Structure 1
């Protein structure tokens, strides 16, 4: 009888151990922002490849749904949301989200017309130009403060691709865009004809880190800890470098 009880207790403990070790799935929302993220990209993009590798290192899986950027954020904030966060995001002050460790870097710069380069040394020098920015994108703190105060003239668009066309046709003097995002789009068949009209400004606005923005909830904090532990077991920079090299 005692042996039966001992066996039953061992079975319960084993079942509990297996259950606790069972992998889970992290649900995140994202956008089509190649080469970092994209529904049609291999592995979902370079950033998605990093996130997936970090989760796999801890025995978990990743599921990503892709939306326009404004909806990407909105879908996470809904009360019935299945998403624990969204990515990739630049850091910004917020009580709504907590940020993961960095999943990579983003060289943020200015797209300009080749014949009419933007001349600046300080961020305030940009006030003489009208810049294209994407709705709800975080840029840099200084630039966003100038936009909010009205001293920086901008035209707000729905996508980076739209900004590329506006710069090429002279509807804005320049546009804020990630260097790798521009390099991806400008080599697409429907935009490659614009390549000879455009350049990235030689001076970067910033080299910004990319993160997952987890919801500021117990579940969000739990996933952030799990993810950060997995991220420490891989080399995210190498994954991104190899991914970008494979696209050339």
Structure 2
């Protein structure tokens, strides 16, 4: 009955309190309504109920409060709906990942190299899409570090990087060896043996803690170039004696960029400078990246178990290299190992 009383009582009211006013405002406004205390008739159905105009004010006030409460509930519901829609839109946004040029692992042209394909597939298994941006390595790192992009691939973990990034479980193994000219072998067993050679390095690369410490201490004489390709050219020109690079990447660059005659002039030493794992790293500056890391690790394990990862590697490289003995992470720094296994 109240609904019909409300509808009919409104026809007798001369002043309405705004819906956006406070309860105190409504009480104050109700005092200002001056209506003559005469009789009026409000019809409900076939019966007739006589009430005064003063009574109609009280009825209408109750109706107004009910209407206000309903409107506010509706407003809250609409805001919640909009907010949930915004959250849904956020989950549909791609994960933005920076890359460097590092064929066959990372390639600017689609499908962007074997490691990029693995990362995309792992996110896809969790219902997420990816967007890749290709930059020089130093800028690729900086854009992710600042949180301008969500993260970057493919990096090995070290304590300095761990300050700025969450590191995923291993995505792909890396084996760093020394390339040199065939007519000038590099004779070494320890890093100290390399002190007699001019060693090229690539900007932004990590070659394992022992090598990096040897460079920092001045034991190794190094020259830094902006890319592995430039270092190969310097090696051919005799400007450096050797430089470390992933064995698969090094051979791919030689095959894609250099002539057969140039390739014959270069080779690599089978002793490893560094053996480790490459990871996706997600910026600590981006809210939600800790949860995103868990999703990625779950997706990575999903495609590993299903055989999709092995299929990607085989179709990209023609072979499947040995994978990390996860979860031991045998070649990872102890602080990194703990952070990676705990997702922190």
Q: TM-score range by the shorter chain?
A: 0.7 to 0.9
Greater fraction of residues in helix: 2
- Mapped partners of 2:124, 2:189: distance in 1: 44
Structure of higher CA gyration radius: 2
Equivalent position to 1:231, from 281, 286, 300: 300
- In the TM superposition, what is the alpha-carbon distance from 1:38 to its structure 2 partner? 1.3
Deviations 1:52-96 (A, max 9, x none): 1101111111100000111101112336x1x11111111111311
* Contact map agreement 1:214 1:224 (CA 8 A) in 2: yes
- In the TM superposition, what is the alpha-carbon distance from 1:106 to its structure 2 partner? 1.3
- Mapped partners of 1:185, 1:20: distance in 2: 40
Q: What's the TM-score, normalizing by structure 2?
A: 0.63
Measured at CA, do residues 50 and 154 of structure 1 come closer, stay the same or move farther in structure 2, by a change above 3 Å? same
Residue 116 of structure 2 is aligned to residue 48 of structure 1: yes
Secondary structure of the structure 2 residue equivalent to 1:121: coil
* Contact map agreement 2:115 2:172 (CA 8 A) in 1: yes
Matching residue of 2:145: 77
Deviations 1:7-34 (A, max 9, x none): xx9xx99xx6994996441101111111
Query: Larger relative CO (CA 8 A, sep 6+): 1 or 2?
Result: 1
5+ residue gaps, structure 1, are 1-8
* Contact map agreement 1:185 1:191 (CA 8 A) in 2: no
* Contact map agreement 1:84 1:219 (CA 8 A) in 2: no
- Mapped partners of 1:130, 1:189: distance in 2: 23
5+ residue gaps, structure 2, are 1-76, 320-344
Matching residue of 1:241: 314
- In the TM superposition, what is the alpha-carbon distance from 1:242 to its structure 2 partner? 2.7
Residue 118 of structure 2 is aligned to residue 118 of structure 1: no
Structure 1 vs Structure 2 CA RMSD: 2.4
Matches within 5 A, 1:95-110: 95-110=163-178
Matching residue of 2:96: 27
* Contact map agreement 2:144 2:282 (CA 8 A) in 1: no
Matches within 5 A, 1:201-216: 201-216=269-284
